[in-house]
Each structure stands twice: as C-alpha cells, then as structure tokens.
Amino acid sequence: MTTDPALQIQNLTISYGEKEVVHDVSMKFPANQITALIGASGSGKSTVLRSLNRMNDDLATVDGQILFEGLNINQPDVNVYQVRQRIGMVFQQPTPFPLSIYENVIYGLRLAGEKDKRVLDQRVEESLKQAALWDEVKDQLKESAFALSGGQQQRLCIARTLAVRPEIILMDEPTSALDPLSTSQIEATMVDLKKDFTMIIVTHNMQQASRSADWTAYLDQGRLVEFDRTAQIFMNPQQQQTADYLSGKFG
Ligand SMILES: Nc1ncnc2c1ncn2[C@@H]1O[C@H](COP(=O)(O)OP(=O)(O)OP(=O)(O)O)[C@@H](O)[C@H]1O
Ligand SMILES: [Mg+2]
C-alpha cells in the first residue's frame, strides 16, 4: 500500500441476531482514494459500509476494531454523532428533506448550532460547487429540493454530506437509481472529490468500479476474498473466485 490508511478495519465480524453475516474482515482504506466494495447481493457490502460510521448500532452486533486516526471508533463510549460528522454517508435513493435547496445543504450545520449567515452562505456555495451542482441551482437556492431531478437530488445529498466537512464519505450504490448521464456526472464528482476526501463506495456496476475506484474489495458471503488495486482485481485477480465472479459479471 502506497498511501496511509484513512480508516482501517480489523477482524470485523457482524451478526444480525444469531446470524453472522460478515466474518473476520480486515482491510485498510487508503486516504484520498476511492475504494469500491463489490460482490453478489447479500455478500455483506452494505453491512460492512454501514458499520464504518456506526449506522448499524441498533440493528447488528459489530465485533472487531474500526481504527480512525488511531482510535477504535467501534467502542460504546465513542460519540456517534461526532463519528458521523467525520464519516458521512450518501444513500442509494436520493433523500432530500422537504426544505429548500439551501436549507438541505446546511442541515447538518444548523444542527451543530451554526447561525452566522456568512458562514452558511459560503458553505452552501462551496459544497454545491464540490458536488458539481452549483451552476445548475445557484439561482434557485430558496426553492424546494423536490423540484430537482433525481440526479440533481443525489448531488444535493452529496453536497449536504460535504457541508459538515467530513474526512470520509461512504456511498451505498449512489447511482443505482439514476440514469446514465446522472451516473457519469456523479462518477466525475467522486473522482474530483478525492483530493479532499477519502471515499468508500458500494456498487453493483463493475464499469463504475473499474472507472472510478483506485482500490477494489471483493466480498463473497461475508468474507473478503480479495482486496487490491482496481486494475489488478479486474485484469489479473489472484483468486480464482474473483476471476469467476468478474467473468460472470462481464461475460
Ligand atoms: N436488518 C437486517 N436484519 C437481518 N438480516 C439482515 C439485515 N440487513 C441485512 N441482512 C442480511 O445480512 C446479509 C448481508 O446483507 P447486506 O445488505 O449487507 O448485503 P449486500 O452485499 O449489501 O447486498 P445487496 O447487494 O443486495 O445490497 C444478508 O444475508 C442479509 O439478508
Ligand atoms: Mg447493499
């Protein structure tokens, strides 16, 4: 690995009730890179992803360590609210709130108590620019977020996540509800965001993984089969299982 990990999981084992669905997974997510989690439906991708910012707290038992800046954030005394500010999440379906575009972007800042209008205005512009949405919405910031297209709504949700300035952004199939044009806009946005953020994405779209991700992890039935540079995984996988999965996906 050439870069420092922004986040590292060690011996992650996750169960829903009695059912263990993720088995002893360890990996490092390099800083300022995109890592894709791929694998068949039910292989545990979302379960792993949601654990990284403690979104599984009420649903699952998560054993093992999640190391973030030297701290194991998978401990009961860790402030989950702070974890989620620093490790943000974008969901599969665009989830704008029934508010204006402007209020959607600064939702997290308002929750954190920010009232200075200059700070809020500046953060709205910055975040919408980072999410490649500013030019399209700058004259309608006070209008409802529901007036936007699906692809615009998803970029708005990305802007909302960026506005609290996280270090890491988790995305679970961020484009699966979108058309090809919106998908390529989001992919371009993701690649652009790498300079400032570390991204971990779940995708079923192998072209998307090979186009945008620097690193790819292949999961099967809750086990990490292979993790390597994306080019290596797609061109020269070391595990037969990975090769079989990918040839099925592309073949
Ligand atoms: N809330 C839940 N309660 C119980 N079991 C769950 C829950 N969520 C997921 N599971 C189970 O955990 C396993 C992993 O599911 P997960 O959603 O992580 O897979 P996935 O790789 O994201 O699949 P997909 O590609 O379909 O989104 C599956 O067997 C699933 O049925
Ligand atoms: Mg999933």
**Would you state the structure tokens that stand for residue 141, as one six-digit string?**
């910031």
Starting from the CA of residue 38, give the closest ligand: 1
Ligand 1 atom 17, closest CA = 46
Pocket of ligand 1 (CB under 6 A): 16, 21, 39, 41-47, 59
Rounded to whole angstroms, the Cα distance separating 85 from 122 reads: 19
The answer to whether 159 and 130 are in contact (CB under 8 A) is yes
Distances (CA, A) of 52 to 3, 165, 168: 20, 17, 10
3-state secondary structure of 245: helix
- Per-residue pLDDT of the chain in tens (251 residues, 90 and over written 9): 456 789 999 999 999 999 999 999 999 999 999 999 999 999 999 999 999 999 999 999 999 999 999 899 999 999 999 999 999 999 988 999 999 999 999 999 999 899 999 999 999 999 999 998 999 999 999 999 999 999 999 999 999 999 999 999 999 999 988 888 889 989 999 999 999 999 999 999 999 999 999 999 999 999 999 999 999 999 999 999 999 999 987 65
Ligand 1 atom 1, closest CA = 59
pTM: 0.94
C-alpha 45 to ligand 1 mean position (Å): 8
**How many other CB atoms are there within 10 angstroms of residue 52's CB atom?**
23
Report the atom number in ligand 1 closest to the C-alpha of 46.
22
The identity of residue 139, as a single letter, is: D
Ligand 1 atom 6, closest CA = 16
Helix, strand, coil % (nearest 5) of the chain?
Answer: 40, 25, 35
Beta bridge partners of 218: 38, 226
**Would you state the structure tokens that stand for residue 114, as one six-digit string?**
């920010």
